[in-house]
Amino acid sequence: MTAWFLSLISLICLIAVHAYWRKKYILLLTKNTEFKGHEKHSRLVKDLGMTDIFDNMPEGILVTNSKRKIDFANPAFCKMFGLSENPSGKTVMEAIRIHQANELIDQLETKSTVTNEEFMLPNLDQRFLQSNGVAIRGKNGKNRGAILVFHDITRIKMLENHRQEFVANVSHELRTPLSIIKGYVETLIDAETNAESNTHKFLKKIENHSDRLTFLIEDILTLSQLESGGIALEQNHVNIYELTESIFDSLKGMAEKKGIHLKNQVAREFVMMADNRRMFQALNNLIENGIKYGGKCVCVSSEINEEKIVICVQDDGPGIPVESCERIFERFYRVDKARSREIGGTGLGLSIVKHVTQLHNGTARVESSPGNGACFYLTFPNVKIENNRV
């Protein structure tokens, strides 16, 4: 009798526990799958045992098969693209109609990975996505599909826009009072006849520092414009030899003061498609640095082949430590803070060089080691134009 009673109690407990767990499981399932039919995960994802991880990830995951049809899409993906139903079985274009996503899958047919592709979602309150993808290949190298991961970077983009706007506005607002200060200081300097007086010395100092601040603000404004993409290049035929000559002309006084010889070894007829003003700015920064931090000579040379154009600015100064070469194009990065402050740089020159080069689809890099001078290379794709001869 006791045994029968105990068995009955155990059975009731078992039913209760089962009912409890079943309820909890269903609750979990509905929480993770707001979308109809979402429990049908692809075999691949199941095989990988990744279902739970994918379901709970904030990043959107999309797996396509060899027929370019969707095999699996996690809830985050569906939410990102505003889908109310599981898109499995459809093509990307049928499911989300975003041609950039379709292009990523196109790319993965030939490439093994795609990284950091950014695009904006139309009609969905300007959301920005960044995507990384990897191709799935069979043992024989045959295409079995692709896995794409989508990150919502709208917030980062917004913050970046706010930062750029803030910097541009502040710099702009600072310009006016600064030019007024400079105007009054110049008037006071002119009125002070005794060049040896303290008043004259102090006024000169105010003038120097307001100049420094003006250069800094100009550089910050240029950089924020370059970063925001708010600068449209005015591409023209630019003769790099002549451009270098005009920069040498404007920096002649500075070079003479330091006893530095300026050498133009660019081929005289070398012409490239570029924005003359921006190229002047980039090369001017490099040549000026060569004079400021260099030794006895600054030389500009060029090299051109079928694929690329390289402009090189070389000096024979103390050079740059290898560990700094990586970071030198960052904003406000200085090798020797005290020396740069004394020389009067803004710390933004090389950052401007990098952005101007990138706007021309090029890259900027430096080769240097302590005691062996520095060599800055600007490399651009060789866009064919007439009369582009070395």
Q: For binding to ligand ADP (CB under 6 A), which residues are involved?
A: 285, 289-290, 293-294, 315, 317, 320, 328, 333-336, 340, 345-351, 374
Helix (H) or strand (E) holding 5: helix 2-32
Residue among 260 and 274 whose Cβ is closer to ligand ADP: 260
Closest separation in Å from C-beta 346 to ligand ADP:
5
Measured CA to CA, the distance from residue 360 to residue 379 in angstroms comes to 10
Cβ proximity to ligand ADP: between 87 and 349 the closer is: 349
Residue 288 tokens read as 């000026």
**Closer to ligand ADP at the Cβ: 60 or 317?**
317
Burial grade of 41 (CB within 10 A; 0-12, 13-18, 19 or more): buried
Residue 104 or 366 with smaller CB distance to ligand ADP: 366
- What's the min distance (Å) between Cβ of 228 and ligand ADP? 19
CA distances from 84 to 42, 64, 95, 185, 268 (A): 18, 19, 11, 67, 64
CB of 220 to ligand ADP, least distance (A): 12
Give the nearer residue to ligand ADP in terms of CB position, either 274 or 348.
348
Q: Nearest distance from residue 35's CB to ligand ADP, in Å?
A: 51
Is 63 or 226 the residue whose CB approaches ligand ADP more closely? 226
In angstroms, the first-to-last Cα distance of the chain is 107
**What is the distance, to the nearest Å, from the Cα of residue 155 to the centroid of all Cα atoms in its chain?**
16
Structure tokens at 388: 């582009």
96 vs 374 by CB, closer to ligand ADP: 374
State CA 126 to chain mean position distance.
20
Closest residue to ligand ADP, judged by C-beta, is 345
CA dist 15 and 61 (Å) reads 38
Q: Which of 305, 319, 253, 251 is nearest to 280 (CA)?
A: 251
CB-nearer residue toward ligand ADP: 148 or 226: 226
What is the greatest pairwise CA distance in the chain?
A: 122
Amino acid found at 76: A
In whole angstroms, how close is the CB of 336 to ligand ADP at the nearest point? Answer: 6
Supply the minimum distance, in Å, between the C-beta of residue 285 and ligand ADP: 6
**How far is residue 189's CA from residue 32's CA, in Å, rounded to a whole number?**
74
Residue 90 has phi, psi (to 5 degrees) of -95, 165
Output 220 or 320, the one with its CB closest to ligand ADP: 320
CB of 334 to ligand ADP, least distance (A): 4
- Provide, rounded to whole angstroms, the least separation between the CB of residue 121 and ligand ADP: 37
Least distance between ligand ADP and beta carbon 250 (Å):
16
- Closest contact distance (angstroms) between CB of 230 and ligand ADP is 21
Cβ-based nearer residue to ligand ADP, 238 or 313: 313
Q: Bridge-partner residues for 63, per DSSP?
A: 72, 147
* Spatial separation of the C-alpha atoms in residues 266 and 299, rounded to whole Å: 9
Q: Which of 177, 181, 180, 170 is nearest to 220 (CA)?
A: 170
- Are the CB atoms for 168 and 221 separated by under 8 Å? yes
Structure tokens at 182: 């400079």
Residue 306 burial (CB count, 10 A):
6
